[in-house]
Structure 1
Amino acid sequence: MSHKYIIESGGTLQGEITVPGDKSISHRALMFASIAKGNSLINGILRSSDVLCTLAAMRAIGVHVEESTDGTMLVHGTQEFRQPREPIYLGNSGTSMRLLSGLFAGLNIPVELHGDDSLSKRPMKRVADPLCSMGFIVKTSPDGTAPIIIESRDQQDTIEDFNYSLPVASAQIKSSILIASLFSKIRTTIDEPSKSRNHTELMLRDFGADIRINGKEVTIVGGRELIAHDIQVPSDISSAAFFIVAASIIPGSDITLKRVGLNPTRDGIIHLLKQMNADITIENRLQSGSEAIADIRVRHSPLKGITISPEYVALAIDEFPILFVAAACAKGKTKLRNAEELRKKESDRIHVMAEALEKMNIKVTEYDDGIDITGGKLKTPNEALYSHDDHRIAMSLSVAAMATQTGNLTLNNVETVESSFPNFHLLMQQAGMNITLK
């Protein structure tokens, strides 16, 4: 059944908000706890449809996970895995598909991974190719998309030390290679064109892996047993971003987002908004394992357009749809280039956001690798808008609708929001947005 949001313009955001746990960390915590020796307690895990797909995949290969009413999960690590009885369905989760490809290849578990229509259009050859170069047997469709088929290989095959230069900065490809390397006594070195998020490296180190980070180069030596490690999952900065931008552009807003992950490879959105004159204060900094956590206070402030430096593209790749909304409300022009990767997400995020913002009275120019947005006054369009089955588009346009001066916006096909931010509309209602799910 199709779902839609009805958003009324106006309102202000107030109070203290705790957004759900970090999706990237939740995926990795489940995977690494499953293959570690001993039992790991994961607290604050995101119970979104994407993460639940990873949980189901781990159970399909024989991992025992206990779920408690307080939201914690106790993962019983094992080294005895079984072949899944049937293909594993991963819904809309690109993270699950790419990281599990490396995990199942490394474990030598024959399996087929498939997903929904949206996931089945996303490029998977980019992860299959390096895994094949390592000696694994990983196949995609003729178009280089899902399903991904992992075949068993002769255990006597020797994989030599492996060096790989990523063609694009991608935490998912990097992570898939690192995870596959865990199970053989090889040295794997990966070089990135620019730094992508490093949750895999930090968490593997917490679990005891032999991993070294040197700038944009990561080296791992496999063959070392992972040891159980308890994890506190911080709030997801990608989810917090919708509230940060909303409070920045809505007059009278003043909110504090509690215990948000501020990993320096994920905080590009904070730096970019501060360049745009956002009033953001970082408070109560602390460490949880290898991850930085803090409270983020945001108050309304007039924004200005900026030219986004290339080094911030990988650091804010998931936050650009909502950043485009900030740009639409800023004085002057915001320019983005070197971001062609945005066209290969759950939707073509450059085109979809450009199309929607134009309907809301904003001047936009598209480029192959970016966009120019000239700020103005957002107006409610005369027609319903569509999420294009992209959760970040749905949440970004909801914030844009709140910033319009008058009227109600209908936003269709928002059910994919459950993939990353369950009950988004309820938390936005709590903060002060007039939003209804139908």
Structure 2
Amino acid sequence: MRAVRIVPPQGPLYGRVTPPGSKSITNRALLLAALAKGRSVLTGALKSKDTILMSAALRQMGVEVNEPDATTFEVIGSGRLEAPSQPLFLGNAGTAVRFLTAAAATVDGAVIVDGDEHMRKRPIAPLVAALRSLGIVANAPTDCPPVTIQGRGSFGSGRVEIDAGLSSQYVSALLMAAPLGDGPIEIALTGPDIGARGYVNLTVAAMKAFGAEVDQKDEATWFVLPTGYHATDFAIEPDASAATYLWAASALTGGDIDLGVPMDAFTQPDAEAARYISMFPNLPPVIDGSQIQDAVPTLAVLAAFNNKPVRFVGISNLRVKECDRISAVATELSRIRPGLGTEDGDDLIVAADPALAGQTLPADIETYADHRIAMSFALAGLKINGITILDPNCVGKTYPGYWDALRSLDVEVDPA
């Protein structure tokens, strides 16, 4: 499909939709299972473009990855990754690129980690600098992928400092590789800023499930022992970022969509967005999106129908996601109505107007090859006539069944 048009439903949305498995947890679990010795079974997993690219890269590195059904990975590892014969191509999967860049240091040989044109614009210099400080030979001439790592069979030992201001994924990458060190490794932040810290907590929890020993000494320091990993069966919870679209759809239409799991059962950071969504149409005037970054586009579209304007702060990292999401959201909101979204430095301001609901405001929404722009702006189509989403297949990055999920709620999603 080149485009889909959303037809606003005539009433509240009711029904049951089970979100796919968490992308963040699936890619962490795939890597940890690959680094473990033995057979691990990952259930409730996400099968999407990002996780398919990760599993394909692991196969290139000598790991057996089987897919017995639509939500299960069976991973059989030897406890070590092998040098691939070809570069690892990971599309625009940021988690896979960052995680494998660090894990590649444990390989005996050279590894090239690369991505598509979008990934080649996403910074990785802080992670490369951290690897070099451990004595690992790593080069990224543009400070973005491709990265060449000369693996030496282990992750070394000692203290490594990392600037995590751009992404918490740098910290997670170092943490997951650290149990394959020659000795204990201490990972320390160089400053107070870190991307969504909750994702580091997800990483540590998954590492411990696979047998790692990780001690968080304080808010900026982690201590990891060289235990390696052991195989285990691991259940993956539904994706909280995907859930935000369904929670917002309920709020916008006054409906009740059952996700099969209560809001408070999620451990992922984006689940905190549920608290804001429950306030609609009285969202607070300022929302700090620093710890719920992937939910900001959802909340911004919801804010367009709020009773009062909303300013999103703490979101500078959104400029280096799959696209510049601050610019993209502001631009596409203003495509619906001029001035609806504006940038103020690295803040995003949504003007808000409940009277938008029920209007016909034809707008072709550019998605910038970004799944979250497509899925969040589809929500605008639940209240406004004339919303068309371009390149709708980009949702396959994390939620291939998104359009079918809306259709199951009796939302008319037509090819345009």
Same fold, TM-score > 0.5, yes or no:
yes
Q: 1:242 to 1:85 in 2, by over 3 A?
A: same
1:410 counterpart letter in structure 2: T
Write out aligned runs for 1:231-270 (5 A): 231-251=234-254, 253-259=255-261, 262-263=266-267, 265-270=269-274
The one-letter amino acid paired with 1:100 is L
Distance in 2, Cα, partners of 1:37 & 1:222: 17
1:205 aligns with 2:208: yes
The normalised TM-score by structure 2 is 0.90
Structure 1: how far apart are the matches of 2:328 and 2:321? 11
Give the TM-score normalised by structure 1.
Answer: 0.86
Distance 1:374 1:158, change over 3 A: closer
Q: Secondary structure in 2 aligned to 1:62?
A: coil
* Residue 327 to residue 109, structure 1, CA distance change in 2 (3 Å): farther
- Alignment of 1:271 onto 2:272: no
Mapped to 1, the partners of 2:378 and 2:308 lie a distance apart of: 22
Change (3 A) 1:247 1:228: same
Q: Measure, in 2, the Cα distance between the counterparts of 1:31 and 1:101.
A: 12
Out of 167, 178, 181, the position equivalent to 2:178 is: 181
- Following superposition, the deviation at residue 205 of structure 1 comes to 0.9
Q: Secondary structure at the match of 2:69?
A: coil
Secondary structure, aligned partner of 1:355: helix
Match of 2:159 in 1: 162
Structure 1 vs Structure 2 CA RMSD: 2.2
Higher mean alpha-carbon deviation, 166-175 vs 85-94, is at 166-175
SS at match of 1:98: helix
Return closer, same or farther for 1:335/1:158 CA change in 2, 3 Å cut-off. Answer: closer
Partners of 1:181 and 1:222 within 8 A in 2: yes
In the alignment, which of 279, 286, 292 is matched to residue 307 of structure 1? 286
- Aligned partner of 1:171: which letter? S
Q: Secondary structure at the match of 2:37?
A: coil
What is the CA-CA distance between 1:236 and the residue it aligns to? 0.2
Give the CA deviation at 1:400.
0.9
Give 2:320's match in structure 1, choosing from 337, 344, 348.
344
Match of 1:408 among 386, 389, 410: 386
Instruction: Provide the rounded CA distance (Å) in 1 between the counterparts of 2:166 and 2:319.
Output: 15
* CA contact 1:128–1:138 (8 Å) conserved in 2: yes
Q: Given that residues 305 and 330 in structure 1 are in contact (C-alpha distance below 8 angstroms), is that contact kept between their aligned partners in structure 2?
A: no
> In structure 1, what is the Cα distance between the partners aligned to 2:102 and 2:272?
27
Change (3 A) 1:77 1:220: farther
CA distance, structure 2, for counterparts of residue 428 and residue 25 of structure 1 = 24
SS of the residue corresponding to residue 110 of structure 1 reads strand
Unpaired segments ≥5 residues, structure 2 = none
Does the 8 A contact of 2:103 with 2:177 survive in 1? Answer: yes
Distance 1:109 1:399, change over 3 A: farther
Q: Hey, what does 1:23 align to over in structure 2? A: 23
1:146 maps to amino acid: P
Distance 1:186 1:107, change over 3 A: farther
Paired with 2:69 and 2:21, the residues of 1 have a C-alpha distance of: 16
- Equivalent residue of 1:384, what SS? strand
Any unmatched runs of 5+ in structure 1?
279-301
Q: What is the aligned-residue identity percentage? A: 26
CA contact (8 A) 1:303 1:329 kept: no
Counting matched residue pairs gives: 403
Which whole-Å CA distance do the structure 2 matches of 1:347 and 1:179 have between them?
26
Q: 1:190 to 1:270 in 2, by over 3 A?
A: farther
Q: Does 1:356 align with 2:332?
A: yes
Distance 1:76 1:402 in 2: 44
Separation in structure 2 between the aligned mates of residue 173 and residue 410 of structure 1, nearest angstrom? 36
Q: Secondary structure at the match of 2:135?
A: coil
Which residue of structure 1 aligns with residue 344 of structure 2? Answer: 367
Kindly provide the CA deviation profile for residues 241-290 of structure 1, in whole angstroms up to 9, marking residues without a partner as x: 11111111124x1111123761163422123334xx24xxxxxxxxxxxx
